[in-house]
Structure 1
């Protein structure tokens, strides 16, 4: 298990992570640090616990919004796939009908 130091709101924290996940954890820490700093600017200096709680709640809110948008997009993709399948069926039927007419014309001619 690897251990790295991350900075949140100007303070260092030692954090453990799986080997190879150090860069990913650093990126997550940057996102969290940015959120905490924004909360600190907006609300003034709170205690670390309240500051971290507010930052985490705001990030959780963003995550929930993203999940809701993803769910709506998945519904839309499902609808579009169903529409495409319906149109493909119509196109196949139209082509089969045209082929039958062409065969009849060729046989008559």
Structure 2
């Protein structure tokens, strides 16, 4: 277990974190400190507790909006995957129909050629 000391609102806090997460935790502390500084500039000295609560609520609001956007993006991606799957299925069906039409046309040409007494692969008899 690692420990990091972060400074928020001019106060130092010793925080525990998993090994290797020290920089991440320090960065998060800097973000919270900056948010509190912004709120302090906007509202003045209204108390550390109130500033902390306001910072937590604004961060929670941003997180909520990010989650909403993520859900919307996931739903859009799912719709796109479904549309792509339907398009692939239509393409496969079309390929099957075209292949069948080509085979059918070839068979008709073969029958026509036999009816005329010639073979398309052997050419017209010359001699």
The answer for the alignment partner of 1:63 in structure 2 is 63
**Equivalents in 2 of 1:57, 1:75: separation in Å?**
27
- Answer with 1 or 2: which has the greater Rg: 2
Q: What's the RMSD between the two structures over aligned residues?
A: 1.3
Aligned pair count? 109
Task: Give a deviation string over 1:62-96, Cα, whole Å, max 9, x none.
Answer: 00011111111111111111111111111111111
Describe how 1:19-98 pairs up with structure 2 within 5 A. Answer: 19-98=19-98
* Superposed structure 1 runs of 4+ greater than 3 Å apart: none
TM-score, normalising length: structure 1 = 0.91
Higher share in helix: 1
Q: How far has the Cα of 1:46 moved from its partner?
A: 2.2
Deviations 1:4-50 (A, max 9, x none): 11111233222122222111101111211121111111111222111
Task: Give the secondary-structure state (helix, strand or coil) at the position aligned to 1:15.
Answer: strand
TM-score under structure 2 normalisation?
0.79
Unaligned segments of structure 1, at least 5 residues: none
**Structure 1 range deviating more: 3-12 or 72-81:** 3-12
**Structure 2: tracts of 5 or more residues without a match:** 110-127
